[in-house]
Amino acid sequence: MREIAIRDALKEAMTEEMDRDSRVFLVGEEVGAYNGAYKCSKGMLDRFGPQRVIDSPIAENGFAGFGIGAAMLGLRPIVEFMTFNFSLIAIDQILNTAAKARLMSAGQLECPIVFRGAGGAAYQLGAQHANSFEHFYAYTPGLIVLAPATPRDMKGLLKSAIRNDNPVVFFESELTYSLKGEVPEEEYLVPIGKADLKREGSDVTIITWSKNVFLALQVADELKEQGIAADLLDLRSLRPLDEDAILTSVAKTHRVVIIQEQHQVASYGAYLSHLISTKAFDELDAPVELVSSLEIPMPYAKSLESVILPSKERCIEAVMRVLR
């Protein structure tokens, strides 16, 4: 099977859906003439023209609202944020308008829109460009929240998101756009709301999502060398959540480590820990461990970034604690 980079998988997803459905269009900062901040829309302006690949001003609140209005009128916009840190400028549009349109209109309005872009920390971008906001959007009923990791899942889930009749928040990672992986050439979709078991084991369940999947794979490899077999569950979809996959794994291993890039307080991982502790309490042989970023804004210095973010060493220490 061919291998392509994540940026190319995302471009294929958008291009195929725009070819399939004339209602789909892309809007955002630098998506057109510059080919996208991370080159995810390279060549799309030449292919589809400026009416369907629209370079926006630096005004997230404005172009997010423009996309929402277009969705309510029957189009299917893809709104690209250069980084989800900038999505805070559009937070009222996303949380108060897109997420609530169907309910507040008694089902008369649909809002089939995808908000996508890079989330989480990258290398030395400082505190204002390094936030992980998956929990912030997953908190909001009315939104679908996706955070895939691999090129295959990025393409298949983005296509499913574009076809969905609800607003979708789609997290990518600036650090993985060039990462390559197997992606089928034929048409396929990845279902929303289904986790993927990346590794199978019986000693401990590791739960994660987005780029931390690759960290978790390193952790699982090192544990294997020590004779510890980990069930590695890539959630892919945070809302809706595949609770069955989580509870099935917990019932098999009886020990859980959650890895997330968010800070621990009021985080998505904290919610998962509560979910497991209440719905699978009798299955647990140890408290759920949560490996998170430390409780401090992200420093600029590269040497300090690595201290703040989850590391392989901290994850393995957490596994050893639940195995005692």
Residues annotated as part of the active site: 60, 129
Which value, to the nearest 10 degrees, does the dihedral of the CA atoms of residues 50, 56, 62, 63 take? 50
User: Cα(205)–Cα(208) distance, rounded to whole angstroms?
Assistant: 10
* Element at 66 (helix H, strand E): helix 60-72
Spatial CA neighbour of 118 closest among 108, 133, 106: 133
Residues whose CB falls within 8 Å of the CB of residue 36, separated by 6 or more in sequence, listed in order: 7, 30, 42, 80
User: Cα(49)–Cα(259) distance, rounded to whole angstroms?
Assistant: 42
User: Cα(134)–Cα(239) distance, rounded to whole angstroms?
Assistant: 10
User: Cα(29)–Cα(41) distance, rounded to whole angstroms?
Assistant: 11
Residue 195 near residue 235, CB atoms below 8 Å = yes
Structure tokens at 7: 């940026």
Spatial CA neighbour of 181 closest among 152, 143, 216: 152
User: Cα(239)–Cα(208) distance, rounded to whole angstroms?
Assistant: 14
Task: Based on DSSP, count helices (H) and strands (E) in the chain, helices before strands.
Answer: 12, 14
Beta bridge partners of 76: 24
Residue 148 near residue 189, CB atoms below 8 Å = no
Residue 214 near residue 175, CB atoms below 8 Å = no
